[in-house]
Chain A
Amino acid sequence: MSSLAGIGVKIESGGGIEPELRGNALPLLHEIRHALARLVEEGEPTVLDIQSLPMGPGDLTRLMDALGEGEVKAELNCLGKTLIREARYSGVWIIEHFDGAGAIASRFIEINWVPPLLQAQAEDVQKGLMELADALAPAGN
């Protein structure tokens, strides 16, 4: 029986995989471009569910690198963390919902003037008004 040392092993890192063979980043960027045009011309927002698309290793990184970072970054604390940041292209927002353990729950790209989730919600505002009124009532204000 030959020894283990006789087995040739070749270590490769990076894989050398041709990105053009399976990159979903480029088609998605085009879709975002069309959605941005629709927002400008017709005022119609678009939401893309990135988590439901077939992405190979590296696809998501390539997409996020291409979108880059813009001027706005917001962290929400509701049912776990949610990160909303604007891409380098204004009007393109990357929304990442995390669960309580910090694992990604869902990921969207929203093309909109501002994502509705960033806005205060009518029900929460109403509740806040009542709470503030209650807090001020004992002081006779």
Chain B
Amino acid sequence: MRAIGLVALAVFRESARDRVPMAIVGFGIVLVAASYLISQMTAGQDLKIIKDIGLAALSILGLFIAVFIGIGLVAKEVERRSIYSLLSKPVTREQLLIGKYCGLVMTLAVNMLAMCAAFYAVLFYQQLTVPSNVQASWAAPATDPRLMIAVVLIFGELMVMTAVAVFFSTFAGPVTSILLTLALWVAGHFNADLRNFQEVADSPAAIYVARVLYYVLPNLAPFNVKAEVVHGVAVSASHVGLTLVYALVYVAMLLVAAMAIFRRRDFK
């Protein structure tokens, strides 16, 4: 456990100082702040615009951080051969992989927190500046704590995508890993359509392949509750709980597969 903690801490320290995620977070904060200005150009939809842009920024920019650092953690380390010194220490490849994953999740959490703070600051400002009679027409208050449900599920989705990025980077180069991870993210959001593939296809083989893909590919649709929280629609605790359990199981399976590949890999 100590080795995992040390690797995670080093990853966190390194990536917290990296300019790329810092720039992404900076951009996210600016984007969230800019959402206030954009909202002023809309009639009656101002709060919805801020919430939509804020949650979308958390989701998309978080994905960029997860993908670009996640790939760098293993693929770049192999490419630049910094892994040689590391693996000569008394640390197993499994400890290294889990430590790196945990370090990246820590980094993501801090970056999400920074963007989230900016998001709530803009929402708070909106609440202060809008008259109370207008506020009465809002579907949900500006600083609605239920927005955190969407944020928690976005974080769960990013944990899955980080594991996907780490998985691909155990056997593919950085560019291939980035492309595969982004492709899987897109596929993951349309995964639910595969379940009902028999409604649009006649071929039993195609239906069977679609069903297999449905179970293998990550199902990311349940993580997206942005529309619900923005409109103040209730999201059940069981949905949140089950989605997070699904995320943990999927992450565990991906990391086990990644470890199996990484254990056998030759670093030429």
Question: Do chains A and B interact in one complex?
Answer: no
Chain B interfacial positions (CB closer than 8 Å to A): none
